[in-house]
Amino acid sequence: MRKLTLLLLFAAMVLPAYAAKRVTVAQLEQMLTAIHGKSDTQIAKQIYGLELTERLNAAKLAQWEKELSGSETRQALIALADQSEFFDPPPAENPTAAAPDAESQRQLLQQAEQRVVETLSKLPNFFADRKINLFEDTPAHEGPAVVSSAYVSYQPLHEVGKFSSTVLYRDHKEVVDWGDTKIDATDEVVLSLLTTGEFGPILRMVLADSGQGALTWSHWEQGAVGQEAVYRYSVPKGKSHYEIQFCCIPAGSNHVYKEFSGYHGEITLDAINGTIHRLTLQGDLKPPNPMTKSNLMVEYGPVEIGGKTYICPVRSVALALAQPQARSNAGLTGSSGFIGLHGAAEESNSMPESSLQTLLIDVNFEKYHMFRSETRILVDNNPEPKEK
């Protein structure tokens, strides 16, 4: 089985203890109503200082983005909503229907497995645009000695850049190629958190691993097109194929930290046909590991490729909490298992929980197109001489 790898690289900064204000979706809505009319920067600043305790749905996020049209506010709302992807929706949003019986639950899972196999086997060669927003917090740290004000104060999670690349899917494999990456940022940005595997490996891995762990019915949710069934799973480390890679850990010389991690998450299915709409993975990581959070969410939906409709990734969110790392000598690298950036590490080998840095990427997959080539053969109608 192909292993799924998440490679991380972080900036060399020291993060003090910071407590964001925790609010529900309803409380956030009240706050946005109260501050309506303030400047884009003022609203964004207040949003960045918050943390949701419930998942913010896409419809409400789109409504607020329309009502609060400033670019800074929009990015702050996206970051806030992305962090909430790993929570349950507000209880009032969930259907109150009774849970299906055990046999119906089993049949729905069986449908999901069959649809994954069918979908992946029928996917053509294609390419798609990958649009990424990168968010980081800016930990407080000591600046260069030559600067008159050497201390840099802490900033909550904020957008630090955008970049895009092309995803290739060829011969039933995701081809990782960041050579065409285009970066849009005011400052030099290191692509510090990258993922791969959304186009198949994640689904296969979770469905296989969860069969060796615990997979149980959880609850109903109301999706964009109807009722959805949510299952929760847990995979112990000894049965896991989820490998975390973190660059870099100083140990005489910098090296990549690798560890197979236990993980848990949710599988959200169409209640009628078993199509997987949403998948989450959360690594079971604890100190003294250099990473204490490694979360990934992938949304799937219908896309048109070559005149036919397929279920493919449409969006993903990755959230990490780890030791800050230096950003020197960074460069894009890739292999069959992962893609990321390598850079020099800090001299410190152990940091308290309050010194960890948060990174977040919001990814949208767009403009799916069939990947094909055309050949023209030109024939010379004039016969050649016999002697030739």
φ and ψ at residue 50, rounded to 5 degrees: -110, 165
**pLDDT attached to residue 375:** 53
Cα distance between residue 325 and residue 72, in whole Å: 27
**pLDDT attached to residue 37:** 84
**pLDDT attached to residue 373:** 57
Quick: pLDDT tens for 211-231: 889 999 999 999 988 899 999
Cα distance between residue 35 and residue 54, in whole Å: 21
Find all residues with CB under 8 Å of 163, minimum gap 6, and list them.
132, 134, 181, 182, 183, 184, 185, 189, 191
Strands 155-170 and 182-184: antiparallel
Cα distance between residue 77 and residue 312, in whole Å: 25
Sign of the Cα pseudo-torsion (180, 182, 187, 191, in order): negative
**Which of 40, 99, 96 minimizes the C-alpha distance to 71?**
40
**23 CB neighbour count, 10 Å cutoff:** 17
3-class secondary structure per residue, the chain: CCCEEEEECCCCCCCCCCCCEEECHHHHHHHHHHCCCCCHHHHHHHHHCEEECCCCCHHHHHHHHHHCCCHHHHHHHHHHHHHHHHCCCCHHHCCCCCCCCHHHHHHHHHHHHHHHHHHHHHCCCEEEEEEEEEEEEECCEECCCCCCCCEECCEEEEEEEEEEEEEEEECCEEECCCCCCEEECCCCCCCCEEECCCCCHHHHHHHHHHCCCEEEEEEEEECCCCEEEEEEEEECHHHCCEEEEEEEEEECEEEEEEEECCEEEEEEEECCCCCEEEEEEEECCCCCCCEEEEEEEEEEEEEEECCEEEEEEEEEEEEEEECCCCCCCCEEEECCCCEEEECCCCCCCCCCHHHCEEEEEEEEEEEEEECCCCCCCCCCCCCCCCCC
Strands 21-23 and 291-305: unpaired
Cα distance between residue 85 and residue 62, in whole Å: 15
Quick: pLDDT tens for 131-169: 999 898 876 656 555 555 566 677 778 888 888 888 888
Cα distance between residue 367 and residue 387, in whole Å: 55
Structure-derived torsion over alpha carbons of residues 188, 193, 194, 197, reported in degrees to the nearest 10: -170
Tokens 């009774």, residue located = 98
**pLDDT attached to residue 249:** 52
Residues of the chain below pLDDT 50: 2-17, 185-191, 250-253, 326-354, 388
**121 CB neighbour count, 10 Å cutoff:** 8
Find all residues with CB under 8 Å of 239, minimum gap 6, and list them.
209, 212, 213
**pLDDT attached to residue 69:** 78
Quick: pLDDT tens for 34-68: 988 899 999 998 998 899 999 999 999 999 998 88
Find all residues with CB under 8 Å of 174, minimum gap 6, and list them.
167, 168, 196, 197, 198, 199, 200, 201
**Which of 160, 156, 83, 168 minimizes the C-alpha distance to 124?**
168
Residue type, 124: P
**pLDDT attached to residue 336:** 26
